[in-house]
Structure 1
Amino acid sequence: MRQRVLAVLGGISMYRLVLFALAGLAAIALGLSLAGLVGPSAGEILASFAVLALSISAVDAAAQRVLRLPWRIESSLVTALILLFVLQPSLTPAGLGGTALAGVLASLSKYLIAWRGRHILNPAAFGAAVVTVFGLGTFSAWWVGTPWLALFVALSGLIVLWRTEKVRLMLVFLLVVVVVSVVRQAVQSQEFGIPFSAGEALPAALTQTPYLFLGAFMLSEPLTLPPRRWQQYSVAALVGVLAGWPIAVGSLFTLGQERALLIGNLFAFAFALRSSVRLVLTERTFVTPTAQELTFRTKGRLRFVAGQYLELEVPHRNPDARGTRREFSIVSAPADLPTLRIAYKDGDQKHPSSYKRALKAAEPGAVLAVTGTWGDFVLPRGRTPVLMVAAGIGVTPFVSQLRQLQATGAERDVVLIYVASEAAELAFRDELAATGVRTIVFTRDEPAELPAHWAWAQGARLDAEALQRVVPDLAARHAYISGPPRLIADLAPALQKARAVTTDAFAGY
C-alpha cells in the first residue's frame, strides 16, 4: 500500500505537493478563524500572508535573476505559508513590517546560508528566529498548534511525509518530543506543587503544541537533512529533545521550536558532503532502446557507498514544475572513481520533463553540479545471503554493488532477479555477467545467448510462487528490490517470506 500511494504522489513535484498541502491548511485555518475557533482574525491571516508572499517572492526573484537561476514560485509560496503559521499574524504597521522582514531574511538565507545549492538552515525557521530573538516587530507564536487544526495538520503532513518517505523520521521525532515534553511537565508540576496527569499531558503534547507542524513541514525538509537514515534519526531526536524541553539562554530567550530546528540543521550539516563536486560529461550511450547512460569525470572529492544515489542539478531556462534537480542511482562503483556513471529512462516518453530535455541536450564537456549523495540502499554488513530484485532500469544500484564486490574481491552469496518488459530492455548485461552472480531473467521473450550462470524464467510472471521456485532459500536471504513504485508495489508481496526486505523506489524529490 505504501508503494502504491507513493506511485500516485510521485507524479506531483515535491514543491507543488507541499504547496497544495499548506494552501489547503491555510484555507481551513481561515475558515476556523471566521468561526472564531482559532486566535488570529481572518484579516490578520490574509494581510500577513500577502506581506509574506510579496516580500519573499520579490527577494527570490531578484536573487535568482542575479544568480541566473530559474525563479520557482512554488518555493517562495511554501516559505510564505510556513512562516504564516509560525509568526503572529497582525494588522499593525509594526507587526506587518516585522513579518515582511522575517520573509526577507528567510529568502536571503536560501542564497547566503547555503552550501553547493543546499540550505544549511531552514529558511522559515531562520527568519522567524531572528525577528523573535531581536524583537523586530513580530515574534514566533506557532498559532498552528491548536486542537482545531491538529487533525488537519496530521493528515496534510502525512501526505507530505509519505511522498518524501519520512514517516519514520516523524515518528522518531514525535516519540522523543512528546516523552520529553511530558517529563518536563511532570518535573515542573512537582517543583511548583501543581497537579499532574499523564493522561491529559500526552494528548495535549500532540494537539496543543506545534510539534506536528514542526516535524511534518520543517524538520522533514530534504534540503536540510543528512544523507543516511541513522543520521536523520539522530537529528530528529536532537530537535525533539530541544523542542520538548526548551533550554533558557540566560534571560534572553529559550532554545525552543524554530531555534531547536536550527541547531538540528547545523548538526545535520556536519554529516553533509562538504567538498565542491562537479561532474564533467565525457560520454553518452544508450544501454537499452529506452535508457541512456551518462559517464562523467569527477572534479573534486566525491564519496559514496555502493547502492546510494546522487542529486544532479541541471540548470535550464523555463523549468517545469519538477524543477532543476533529480536523483539518480549511481551505476559505477566507488572503486571506479574518478569515473562516475548514472543511467535513466529516456526513449519511451512522449512528453519528457524540461529537466530531461535539458539533460538530453548536454554535450560532452558540459559541467554539472552534484548537490549530495544519499540513501540507505546498501548491502548489509557481514555475510548475510542477499537477493536482488531489479525492475527495469532499477538494476543500476545493483550494478554498483556487484562491481564494488568484484573490485574489492569480497565474496557474497547473491542471487539477482532481473525483471524487464522484454529482453532488449536488459541493461548492463556484460557487466553483470562479469561479476559471476547467479541471475534469473523474467522477460516475455527469451533473451539470446545468456551466460552459463543466467537463466530465463520461461516467460513466467514474477509472483510469490515463481519467486519461491527459483529462490528456494528465500527465507535465509535479505531481499533488496529496486524500481518504479508501481512495480515495487506489485512485487513486494512476493518477498514477504524473505529474512528482511529493503526497497528503493524512484519517486525522486
Structure 2
Amino acid sequence: MYRLVLFALAALAAIAIVLSLTGSGMPNAVEILASFAVLAVVISAVDAAAQRILRLPWRLESSLVTALILLFVLQPSLTVAGLAGNALAGAVASLSKYLIAWRGRHILNPAAFGAAVVTIFGLGSFSSWWVGTPVLSVAVAVLGLAVLWRTEKVRIVLVFLLVAVGVSVVRQAVQLQAAGLAFELADAVLFSLAQSPFLFLGAFMLSEPLTLPPRRWQQFSVAALVGILAGWPIAIGGLFTLGQERALLIGNLLAFAFALRGSVRLVLEKRRFVTPTAQELTFRTRGRLRFLPGQYLELDVPHRHPDARGTRREFSFVSAPADLPTLRIAYKDGDQKHPSSYKRALAAAQPGAVLAVTGTWGDFVLPRGGAPALMVAAGIGVTPFVSQLRQMQSLGVQRDVVLIYVASEAAELAFRDELEATGVRAIVFTRDEPTSLAPNWTWAQGVRLDAAGLERVVPDIAARNAFISGPPRLIADLAPALQKARSLTTDAFAGY
C-alpha cells in the first residue's frame, strides 16, 4: 500500500509542478521542490534515527509518503522561516509515530498532527491545503480512486465526502443568507468538491489503515464525524478552527476509542504442512490480543530488500479466541514458482522468531442469533470458518451450518479433522473421493462448483446467511446463487 500511495502522490506532485509553470495560480515550482526536499530529508532522518533506536525496520516509503502529504497540506516556501516551519512540521509528524503511540501503534495521522502543531502555534509555517484547487481536482480524484480501489476504502471515503459536502453546502447557504446574497446549490456543491481539500483529505489521509478502527460500522462513524467537522469548521476561542487536519485528528481519537488496539508480538512455536501445499504456523502471543472469529490480522515480517508488495500481509485466524494465547494462521506455500520476498522471509522464520501483529480487522463474522448459515470455502480459504466453528464448539453453541468445501483434490482439504470434530454438515467438491468421510460429510464429486451446482446441493439457500471465502473468480461464479441468500459476506484473496 505504501508504494502505491507513494507513486500516486509523486505523480500528483509532478502534475502540480508542471501546472505551476503554466501560470495556473499554483505555488512556485521552486518553492514546491525546496519544501519537498526539506520535508523528505527531515522526516527520513528522524524516522531512521527513531527506528534504529527502537530496533525497527526503516521504511523509506512511509517517510516519503508523509513528506508528500505534508507538501500538499503546508504552504510551500523559499524563506528561511517558512522552510524551518516545514522542517519542524515534518519532525513533529515523524516523532508522533513513536511518541503518541499505544503498544507500538501510532494513534494520530502523522502528517495531520505535524501540520496542526505548526499552524496552531504559529511556528513559521501553516496549513494552506493548496492541493484543494480546481486545476488539481481531477488528478486528485483519479489518483485517489486508484488508491481507494486497491485498499477497498471507496465506500468509507464516499461516506466522508457525502457528509462533508452536505455540511459544507448547508454552511454556505447559511452564510450567504446571513449576508443577503443569492445561493446556488450547484455552485455550492462544485465549490465543496473542486475548491476544497475534501478529495485529498479523504483519499490520502482518512483512508490510512493504521488509524482506522477494525469494524466497518466504526469506520463509517469516523468518516461521518470527520466529514461534519471538516464541512463546518468549529471555531475554538477565536484562535483556530477544528477544520481539515484537526477534524481528522479528532476522528483518529474516535477510532482509537473504538479499538484501543496496538501491536502484539508473536513468538513462533512451530510450523507444519496441513496439506501438500499449505502450511500452518503456531504462535504464542505476547500482549493482549482481541479478535472475533472470522476476522484477520496483519502480520509484519521485516526482511532485507522487500519487493514491491512490502513487509506486511493479512491472514485469517485459524484458531478461535478461546485458544489464546495460542494463535494459528495458515497460508498457501508449495505450489508457487516465484514466491514474493515476503513469503520467502516467512518460510525462513524459525521457532523462536518474534513477529508483530499490527492490527486485527474485518467484518467476516457470523451475525448474532441462530439464523442458518452457509459457509463456502475454496482451499486455504477455509481458515476463517475453522475459527468460527471451533469457537462455537468451545462455547457449546448450536447452529444450523452447511459448509461447502472446494479443493483441487482430497489431500488439499486442510483442517479436515478439526472441522469434522465440530459436527458441521459439509459437502466436499474434489476430483478424487476423500476416504473415511464423517457421517455428516458428503462428496459431491468434481472440483468445479458453479451457481447451479450450489443451488442443487443447498436448496434452502434463501433461508441462510451466506459467507464465502476464496479467490475472486469463485465468488463471481457463485454470485447468481449467493444473491438469493438472506445476506452475503465475502472474503476474497489473491495470494502472497
TM over 0.5: yes
1:106-255 alignment to 2 at 5 Å? 106-255=93-242
Counterparts of 1:487 and 1:40 in 2: how far apart (Å)?
A: 49
Counterparts of 2:397 and 2:143 in 1: how far apart (Å)?
A: 46
Query: Which of 179-188 and 312-321 deviates more?
Result: 312-321
Matched, 1:456 2:443: yes
Task: Please list the CA deviations of residues 142-184 of structure 1 after superposition, one character each: whole Å capped at 9, or x if unmatched.
Answer: 1111112112211111111111111111111111111111111
Is the alpha carbon distance of 1:486 and 1:96 closer, same or farther for their aligned partners in structure 2, counting shifts above 3 Å?
farther
Is the alpha carbon distance of 1:507 and 1:154 closer, same or farther for their aligned partners in structure 2, counting shifts above 3 Å?
farther
**Quick check: 1:177–1:243 contact (8 Å CA) kept in 2?**
yes
**Quick check: 1:29–1:38 contact (8 Å CA) kept in 2?**
no
1:359-508 alignment to 2 at 5 Å? 359-506=346-493
Task: Please list the CA deviations of residues 370-399 of structure 1 after superposition, one character each: whole Å capped at 9, or x if unmatched.
Answer: 222211110012222211111111110000
Query: Which of 447-456 and 355-364 deviates more?
Result: 355-364
- Look up the equivalent residue of 1:112 and give its one-letter code: L
Matching residue of 1:64: 51
Is the alpha carbon distance of 1:322 and 1:69 closer, same or farther for their aligned partners in structure 2, counting shifts above 3 Å?
farther
- How far apart are 1:489 and its partner, in Å? 3.9
Matching residue of 1:289: 276
Structure 2: which 5+ residue stretches go unaligned? Answer: none
Task: Please list the CA deviations of residues 434-471 of structure 1 after superposition, one character each: whole Å capped at 9, or x if unmatched.
Answer: 12222122223332222222222221511111111111
**Quick check: 2:265–2:355 contact (8 Å CA) kept in 1?**
yes
- How far apart are 1:357 and its partner, in Å? 2.9
Query: Which of 20-29 and 394-403 deviates more?
Result: 20-29
Alignment root-mean-square deviation, CA: 1.9
Counterparts of 2:321 and 2:51 in 1: how far apart (Å)?
A: 34
Matched, 1:301 2:288: yes
Matching residue of 2:76: 89
Task: Please list the CA deviations of residues 396-447 of structure 1 after superposition, one character each: whole Å capped at 9, or x if unmatched.
Answer: 0000111111111212111111122222211000111112222122223332
Counterparts of 1:446 and 1:269 in 2: how far apart (Å)?
A: 50
**Quick check: 1:327–1:508 contact (8 Å CA) kept in 2?**
no
**Quick check: 1:275–1:300 contact (8 Å CA) kept in 2?**
no
Q: Which one of the candidate residues 340, 354, 370 is aligned to 2:341?
A: 354
1:310-321 alignment to 2 at 5 Å? 310-321=297-308
**Quick check: 2:379–2:405 contact (8 Å CA) kept in 1?**
yes
- How far apart are 1:338 and its partner, in Å? 2.3
Q: Which one of the candidate residues 61, 66, 82 is aligned to 1:79?
A: 66
Is the alpha carbon distance of 1:507 and 1:127 closer, same or farther for their aligned partners in structure 2, counting shifts above 3 Å?
farther
**Quick check: 2:21–2:29 contact (8 Å CA) kept in 1?**
yes
Counterparts of 2:380 and 2:353 in 1: how far apart (Å)?
A: 24
**Quick check: 1:248–1:254 contact (8 Å CA) kept in 2?**
yes
Structure 1: which 5+ residue stretches go unaligned? Answer: 1-13
Counterparts of 1:118 and 1:128 in 2: how far apart (Å)?
A: 20
TM-score (norm 2): 0.95
Task: Please list the CA deviations of residues 221-245 of structure 1 after superposition, one character each: whole Å capped at 9, or x if unmatched.
Answer: 0010111111111111111111111
- Look up the equivalent residue of 1:121 and give its one-letter code: L
Counterparts of 1:88 and 1:292 in 2: how far apart (Å)?
A: 51
- Look up the equivalent residue of 1:52 and give its one-letter code: L
Is the alpha carbon distance of 1:297 and 1:71 closer, same or farther for their aligned partners in structure 2, counting shifts above 3 Å?
closer
Query: Which of 148-157 and 318-327 deviates more?
Result: 318-327
Higher relative contact order (CA 8 A, sep 6+): 1
Is the alpha carbon distance of 1:486 and 1:50 closer, same or farther for their aligned partners in structure 2, counting shifts above 3 Å?
farther
Counterparts of 1:489 and 1:91 in 2: how far apart (Å)?
A: 54
**Quick check: 1:285–1:292 contact (8 Å CA) kept in 2?**
yes
Query: Which of 467-476 and 362-371 deviates more?
Result: 362-371
- How far apart are 1:185 and its partner, in Å? 1.3
Counterparts of 1:276 and 1:67 in 2: how far apart (Å)?
A: 14
- Look up the equivalent residue of 1:402 and give its one-letter code: L
Is the alpha carbon distance of 1:249 and 1:178 closer, same or farther for their aligned partners in structure 2, counting shifts above 3 Å?
same
Counterparts of 1:274 and 1:78 in 2: how far apart (Å)?
A: 23
Matched, 1:260 2:254: no
